[in-house]
Protein backbone atom coordinates (compact mmCIF):
# COMPACT_ATOMS: atom_id res chain seq x y z
CA UNK A 1 0.00 0.00 0.00
CA UNK A 2 1.17 3.52 -0.77
CA UNK A 3 2.42 6.02 1.78
CA UNK A 4 1.34 9.65 1.96
CA UNK A 5 3.21 12.27 3.98
CA UNK A 6 1.01 15.18 5.08
CA UNK A 7 2.35 18.36 6.69
CA UNK A 8 -0.05 20.29 8.91
CA UNK A 9 -2.25 17.28 9.62
CA UNK A 10 -3.59 18.50 12.96
CA UNK A 11 -6.40 20.59 11.48
CA UNK A 12 -8.31 21.64 8.36
CA UNK A 13 -7.23 20.32 4.95
CA UNK A 14 -4.36 18.25 6.37
CA UNK A 15 -6.56 16.42 8.86
CA UNK A 16 -9.26 15.88 6.20
CA UNK A 17 -6.60 14.46 3.83
CA UNK A 18 -5.46 12.08 6.59
CA UNK A 19 -9.06 10.89 6.83
CA UNK A 20 -9.64 10.46 3.09
CA UNK A 21 -6.32 8.73 2.40
CA UNK A 22 -6.63 6.66 5.60
CA UNK A 23 -10.11 5.53 4.65
CA UNK A 24 -8.65 4.35 1.36
CA UNK A 25 -5.99 2.24 3.07
CA UNK A 26 -2.92 4.47 2.66
CA UNK A 27 -0.18 4.41 5.27
CA UNK A 28 0.20 7.92 6.72
CA UNK A 29 3.13 10.02 7.88
CA UNK A 30 1.58 12.88 9.79
CA UNK A 31 3.21 16.18 10.73
CA UNK A 32 2.15 19.20 12.77
CA UNK A 33 3.36 20.95 15.91
CA UNK A 34 0.48 19.99 18.24
CA UNK A 35 1.51 16.56 19.46
CA UNK A 36 -1.69 15.91 21.45
CA UNK A 37 -3.74 16.29 18.27
CA UNK A 38 -1.36 14.07 16.29
CA UNK A 39 -1.61 11.33 18.92
CA UNK A 40 -5.41 11.34 18.97
CA UNK A 41 -5.57 11.46 15.16
CA UNK A 42 -3.25 8.45 14.88
CA UNK A 43 -5.23 6.48 17.40
CA UNK A 44 -8.56 7.30 15.69
CA UNK A 45 -7.33 6.55 12.15
CA UNK A 46 -5.64 3.29 13.15
CA UNK A 47 -8.81 2.17 14.97
CA UNK A 48 -11.25 3.29 12.26
CA UNK A 49 -9.35 2.16 9.17
CA UNK A 50 -6.81 -0.43 10.40
CA UNK A 51 -3.99 1.50 8.73
CA UNK A 52 -0.47 2.38 9.91
CA UNK A 53 0.41 5.94 10.98
CA UNK A 54 3.82 7.37 11.78
CA UNK A 55 4.00 10.71 13.57
CA UNK A 56 6.62 13.34 12.74
CA UNK A 57 5.95 16.33 14.96
CA UNK A 58 8.14 19.23 13.92
CA UNK A 59 7.91 22.89 13.03
CA UNK A 60 8.43 23.21 9.26
CA UNK A 61 10.21 26.53 9.90
CA UNK A 62 12.99 24.69 11.72
CA UNK A 63 15.37 23.53 9.00
CA UNK A 64 17.41 21.29 11.26
CA UNK A 65 14.31 19.64 12.79
CA UNK A 66 12.85 18.98 9.31
CA UNK A 67 16.00 17.29 7.99
CA UNK A 68 16.69 15.35 11.19
CA UNK A 69 13.15 13.94 11.32
CA UNK A 70 13.01 12.96 7.65
CA UNK A 71 16.60 11.72 7.34
CA UNK A 72 16.06 9.37 10.29
CA UNK A 73 12.71 7.93 9.19
CA UNK A 74 12.60 4.20 9.99
CA UNK A 75 13.32 1.91 7.03
CA UNK A 76 9.66 0.87 6.64
CA UNK A 77 8.62 4.53 6.22
CA UNK A 78 11.20 5.56 3.63
CA UNK A 79 9.10 4.86 0.53
CA UNK A 80 7.06 8.06 0.35
CA UNK A 81 4.71 8.01 -2.64
CA UNK A 82 2.86 11.29 -2.10
CA UNK A 83 3.92 14.43 -0.24
CA UNK A 84 1.18 16.94 0.60
CA UNK A 85 2.82 20.25 1.48
CA UNK A 86 -0.12 21.69 3.35
CA UNK A 87 1.27 23.30 6.55
CA UNK A 88 0.71 27.01 6.27
CA UNK A 89 -1.02 30.07 7.62
CA UNK A 90 -1.97 33.68 7.22
CA UNK A 91 -1.23 36.04 10.10
CA UNK A 92 -3.05 39.35 10.23
CA UNK A 93 -4.90 41.27 7.57
CA UNK A 94 -3.26 44.68 7.59
CA UNK A 95 -1.90 47.26 5.21
CA UNK A 96 1.86 47.42 4.65
CA UNK A 97 1.95 50.35 7.00
CA UNK A 98 0.22 48.52 9.83
CA UNK A 99 1.45 44.97 9.35
CA UNK A 100 3.67 43.28 11.91
CA UNK A 101 7.04 42.28 10.43
CA UNK A 102 7.16 39.21 12.70
CA UNK A 103 3.92 38.03 11.07
CA UNK A 104 5.47 38.50 7.63
CA UNK A 105 8.50 36.47 8.64
CA UNK A 106 6.39 33.66 10.10
CA UNK A 107 4.36 33.42 6.88
CA UNK A 108 7.47 33.42 4.69
CA UNK A 109 9.26 30.91 6.93
CA UNK A 110 6.26 28.55 7.07
CA UNK A 111 4.51 28.83 3.72
CA UNK A 112 7.59 29.12 1.54
CA UNK A 113 10.76 28.09 3.36
CA UNK A 114 9.04 25.26 5.26
CA UNK A 115 7.64 23.86 2.02
CA UNK A 116 11.11 24.03 0.46
CA UNK A 117 12.80 22.29 3.41
CA UNK A 118 10.28 19.46 3.54
CA UNK A 119 10.38 18.93 -0.23
CA UNK A 120 14.18 18.93 -0.33
CA UNK A 121 14.28 16.40 2.52
CA UNK A 122 11.64 14.09 0.98
CA UNK A 123 12.89 14.13 -2.62
CA UNK A 124 15.75 11.66 -1.94
CA UNK A 125 13.00 9.20 -0.95
CA UNK A 126 11.32 9.61 -4.36
CA UNK A 127 14.04 10.30 -6.95
CA UNK A 128 15.86 6.92 -6.77
CA UNK A 129 12.51 5.19 -7.32
CA UNK A 130 11.61 7.42 -10.32
CA UNK A 131 8.19 7.82 -8.84
CA UNK A 132 6.31 10.21 -6.60
CA UNK A 133 3.79 13.02 -6.39
CA UNK A 134 4.21 16.36 -4.63
CA UNK A 135 1.00 18.27 -3.95
CA UNK A 136 1.45 21.87 -2.82
CA UNK A 137 -1.27 23.97 -1.20
CA UNK A 138 -1.33 27.36 -2.88
CA UNK A 139 -4.44 29.54 -2.75
CA UNK A 140 -6.57 31.85 -4.85
CA UNK A 141 -4.31 34.38 -3.10
CA UNK A 142 -1.53 33.11 -5.38
CA UNK A 143 -3.52 34.18 -8.43
CA UNK A 144 -4.87 37.57 -7.33
CA UNK A 145 -3.58 39.90 -4.68
CA UNK A 146 -6.34 41.28 -2.44
CA UNK A 147 -6.41 44.34 -0.21
CA UNK A 148 -4.33 43.83 2.95
CA UNK A 149 -3.30 40.36 1.81
CA UNK A 150 0.22 41.53 0.79
CA UNK A 151 2.74 39.03 2.20
CA UNK A 152 0.31 36.11 2.52
CA UNK A 153 -0.51 36.52 -1.19
CA UNK A 154 3.20 36.78 -1.98
CA UNK A 155 3.99 33.52 -0.19
CA UNK A 156 1.26 31.71 -2.10
CA UNK A 157 2.38 33.21 -5.42
CA UNK A 158 5.82 31.87 -4.53
CA UNK A 159 4.31 28.42 -3.88
CA UNK A 160 2.82 28.54 -7.37
CA UNK A 161 6.18 29.48 -8.92
CA UNK A 162 8.09 26.87 -6.93
CA UNK A 163 5.53 24.26 -8.01
CA UNK A 164 6.15 25.15 -11.67
CA UNK A 165 9.91 24.94 -11.17
CA UNK A 166 9.66 21.58 -9.40
CA UNK A 167 7.42 20.23 -12.16
CA UNK A 168 9.98 21.07 -14.83
CA UNK A 169 13.01 19.88 -12.91
CA UNK A 170 11.43 16.64 -11.73
CA UNK A 171 10.30 15.60 -15.23
CA UNK A 172 13.31 13.24 -15.65
CA UNK A 173 12.24 11.39 -12.50
CA UNK A 174 8.56 10.94 -13.39
CA UNK A 175 7.60 12.85 -10.24
CA UNK A 176 4.27 14.64 -10.56
CA UNK A 177 3.80 18.12 -9.09
CA UNK A 178 0.34 19.53 -8.51
CA UNK A 179 -0.56 22.93 -7.06
CA UNK A 180 -4.04 23.22 -5.52
CA UNK A 181 -5.46 26.71 -5.08
CA UNK A 182 -8.58 26.81 -2.88
CA UNK A 183 -10.71 29.84 -2.17
CA UNK A 184 -12.44 30.46 1.15
CA UNK A 185 -12.70 27.23 3.14
CA UNK A 186 -13.92 27.03 6.72
CA UNK A 187 -11.11 25.55 8.82
CA UNK A 188 -9.03 27.02 11.64
CA UNK A 189 -7.37 29.26 9.01
CA UNK A 190 -9.33 32.44 9.83
CA UNK A 191 -9.07 31.91 13.59
CA UNK A 192 -5.29 31.67 13.20
CA UNK A 193 -5.19 34.68 10.86
CA UNK A 194 -7.13 36.82 13.34
CA UNK A 195 -5.15 35.47 16.31
CA UNK A 196 -8.05 33.85 18.12
CA UNK A 197 -10.62 36.62 17.48
CA UNK A 198 -13.70 34.49 16.84
CA UNK A 199 -15.88 37.37 15.60
CA UNK A 200 -13.35 38.42 12.98
CA UNK A 201 -12.87 34.78 11.96
CA UNK A 202 -16.62 34.23 11.61
CA UNK A 203 -16.99 37.30 9.39
CA UNK A 204 -14.67 35.69 6.84
CA UNK A 205 -17.46 33.26 6.03
CA UNK A 206 -20.61 35.26 6.77
CA UNK A 207 -22.94 35.23 3.77
CA UNK A 208 -21.02 32.41 2.10
CA UNK A 209 -21.38 28.67 1.92
CA UNK A 210 -17.63 28.14 1.97
CA UNK A 211 -15.68 25.09 0.90
CA UNK A 212 -15.17 22.48 3.61
CA UNK A 213 -11.89 20.79 4.41
CA UNK A 214 -13.39 17.56 3.06
CA UNK A 215 -14.25 19.22 -0.28
CA UNK A 216 -10.58 20.10 -0.70
CA UNK A 217 -9.30 16.74 0.58
CA UNK A 218 -11.54 14.86 -1.88
CA UNK A 219 -10.09 16.93 -4.75
CA UNK A 220 -6.54 16.24 -3.56
CA UNK A 221 -7.35 12.52 -3.39
CA UNK A 222 -8.72 12.67 -6.93
CA UNK A 223 -5.53 14.33 -8.20
CA UNK A 224 -3.41 11.76 -6.38
CA UNK A 225 -5.21 8.73 -7.78
CA UNK A 226 -5.24 9.49 -11.51
CA UNK A 227 -3.43 7.08 -13.84
CA UNK A 228 0.41 7.25 -13.76
CA UNK A 229 0.58 9.15 -17.08
CA UNK A 230 -1.79 11.92 -15.94
CA UNK A 231 -0.76 14.95 -13.87
CA UNK A 232 -3.03 17.84 -12.91
CA UNK A 233 -0.60 20.76 -12.87
CA UNK A 234 -2.63 23.54 -11.35
CA UNK A 235 -6.15 23.55 -9.96
CA UNK A 236 -8.26 26.44 -8.65
CA UNK A 237 -11.36 25.63 -6.60
CA UNK A 238 -13.80 28.02 -4.93
CA UNK A 239 -17.29 27.85 -3.49
CA UNK A 240 -20.06 28.97 -5.85
CA UNK A 241 -20.25 32.43 -4.30
CA UNK A 242 -16.62 33.15 -5.15
CA UNK A 243 -14.95 33.77 -8.51
CA UNK A 244 -11.18 34.06 -8.14
CA UNK A 245 -10.79 36.79 -5.50
CA UNK A 246 -14.31 38.21 -5.91
CA UNK A 247 -17.13 37.25 -3.53
CA UNK A 248 -20.84 37.54 -4.23
CA UNK A 249 -22.74 38.99 -1.31
CA UNK A 250 -20.10 38.40 1.37
CA UNK A 251 -20.89 40.54 4.38
CA UNK A 252 -17.33 41.29 5.54
P1 LIG B 1 -5.68 25.23 9.50
O2 LIG B 1 -5.26 26.38 10.35
O3 LIG B 1 -6.96 24.54 9.83
O4 LIG B 1 -4.50 24.14 9.43
C5 LIG B 1 -3.17 24.52 9.25
C6 LIG B 1 -2.27 23.36 9.57
O7 LIG B 1 -0.91 23.76 9.35
C8 LIG B 1 -2.37 22.90 11.01
O9 LIG B 1 -2.37 21.50 11.04
C10 LIG B 1 -1.11 23.45 11.66
O11 LIG B 1 -0.68 22.55 12.66
C12 LIG B 1 -0.14 23.40 10.48
N13 LIG B 1 1.00 24.30 10.64
C14 LIG B 1 0.99 25.65 10.70
N15 LIG B 1 2.22 26.11 10.91
C16 LIG B 1 3.03 25.02 10.99
C17 LIG B 1 4.41 24.84 11.19
N18 LIG B 1 5.23 25.89 11.38
N19 LIG B 1 4.92 23.59 11.20
C20 LIG B 1 4.11 22.53 11.02
N21 LIG B 1 2.79 22.63 10.82
C22 LIG B 1 2.26 23.87 10.82
O23 LIG B 1 -5.73 25.83 8.01
P24 LIG B 1 -6.12 25.16 6.59
O25 LIG B 1 -6.32 23.71 6.70
O26 LIG B 1 -7.20 25.98 6.01
O27 LIG B 1 -4.80 25.50 5.78
C28 LIG B 1 -3.97 24.51 5.17
C29 LIG B 1 -3.24 25.14 4.00
O30 LIG B 1 -4.19 25.58 3.02
C31 LIG B 1 -2.41 26.38 4.35
O32 LIG B 1 -1.22 26.32 3.60
C33 LIG B 1 -3.29 27.54 3.90
O34 LIG B 1 -2.53 28.68 3.58
C35 LIG B 1 -3.96 26.94 2.68
N36 LIG B 1 -5.23 27.52 2.26
C37 LIG B 1 -6.28 27.67 3.13
C38 LIG B 1 -7.49 28.21 2.66
C39 LIG B 1 -8.65 28.43 3.56
O40 LIG B 1 -9.52 29.27 3.22
N41 LIG B 1 -8.80 27.71 4.65
C42 LIG B 1 -7.66 28.57 1.25
C43 LIG B 1 -6.48 28.39 0.45
C44 LIG B 1 -5.33 27.86 0.94
P45 LIG B 1 0.02 22.91 14.06
O46 LIG B 1 -0.56 24.23 14.50
O47 LIG B 1 -0.33 21.76 14.95
O48 LIG B 1 1.47 22.98 13.73
C1 LIG C 1 -6.85 31.41 1.87
C2 LIG C 1 -7.95 32.01 1.05
O3 LIG C 1 -8.77 34.24 0.10
O4 LIG C 1 -8.40 34.11 2.51
O5 LIG C 1 -5.70 31.26 1.14
O6 LIG C 1 -6.54 34.19 0.97
S7 LIG C 1 -7.90 33.73 1.17
- What is the tens place of the pLDDT at every residue in 111-137? 999 999 999 999 999 999 999 999 999
Q: What is the pLDDT of residue 251?
A: 62
For residues 61-69, give the mean pLDDT. Answer: 98
246 domain residue, yes or no: no
- Measured from the Cα of 140, ligand 1's closest atom is 43
247 domain residue, yes or no: no
The pTM of this model reads 0.98
140 lines ligand 2 (CB under 6 A): yes
Mean pLDDT taken over the chain: 97
197 domain residue, yes or no: yes
What range does the domain containing 33 cover? 3-237
137 lines ligand 1 (CB under 6 A): yes
243 domain residue, yes or no: no
184 lines ligand 1 (CB under 6 A): yes
Max CA separation in the chain (angstroms):
52
For residue 103, what is the enclosing H or E element? Answer: helix 101-107
**Annotated active-site residue in 26, 49, 117, 152:** 152
155 lines ligand 2 (CB under 6 A): no
* Distance, CA of 240 to CA of 165 (rounded, Å): 31
Q: Is the pLDDT confidence value at 252 over 60?
A: no
Q: What is the pLDDT of residue 249?
A: 74
159-212 confidence digits (pLDDT tens): 999 999 999 999 999 999 999 999 999 999 999 999 999 999 999 999 999 999
Ligand 1, atom 48: nearest CA belongs to which residue? 33
Q: Is 129 helix (H, G, I), strand (E, B) or coil?
A: helix
Convert 17-56 to b/e letters by CB count within 10 Å (16 or more is b). bbbbbbeeebbbbbbbeeeebbeebbeebeeebebbbbbb
211-233 confidence digits (pLDDT tens): 999 999 999 999 999 999 999 99
Residue 153 belongs to domain with CATH number? 3.40.50.720
- Measured from the Cα of 37, ligand 1's closest atom is 47
Q: What is the pLDDT of residue 222?
A: 98
Whether 152 is catalytic is yes
Going by their DSSP bridges, the two strands 3-6 and 27-32 should be labelled as parallel
- Measured from the Cα of 109, ligand 1's closest atom is 18
251 domain residue, yes or no: no
49 domain residue, yes or no: yes
250 domain residue, yes or no: no
How many distinct structural domains can be found in the chain?
1
Contact 234, 178 (CB under 8 A): yes
Q: Is the pLDDT confidence value at 76 over 70?
A: yes
20 lines ligand 1 (CB under 6 A): no
Convert 91-116 to b/e letters by CB count within 10 Å (16 or more is b). bbbeeeeebeeebbebbbbbbbbbbb
For residues 233-252, give the mean pLDDT. Answer: 88
Model confidence at 244, in pLDDT bands (50, 70, 90)? Answer: confident
Question: What ipTM was predicted for this assembly?
Answer: 0.99
User: Which ranges in 183-248 belong to alpha helices (H)?
Assistant: 189-193, 198-203, 213-224
186 domain residue, yes or no: yes
Amino acid sequence: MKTVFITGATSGFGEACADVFGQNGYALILNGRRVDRLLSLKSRLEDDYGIRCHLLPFDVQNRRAVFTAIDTLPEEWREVDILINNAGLALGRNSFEEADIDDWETMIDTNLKGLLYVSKAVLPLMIPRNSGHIINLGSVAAKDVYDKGNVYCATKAAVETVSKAMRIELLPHRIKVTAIHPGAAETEFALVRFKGNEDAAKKTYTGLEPLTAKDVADIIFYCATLPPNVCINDLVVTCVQQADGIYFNRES
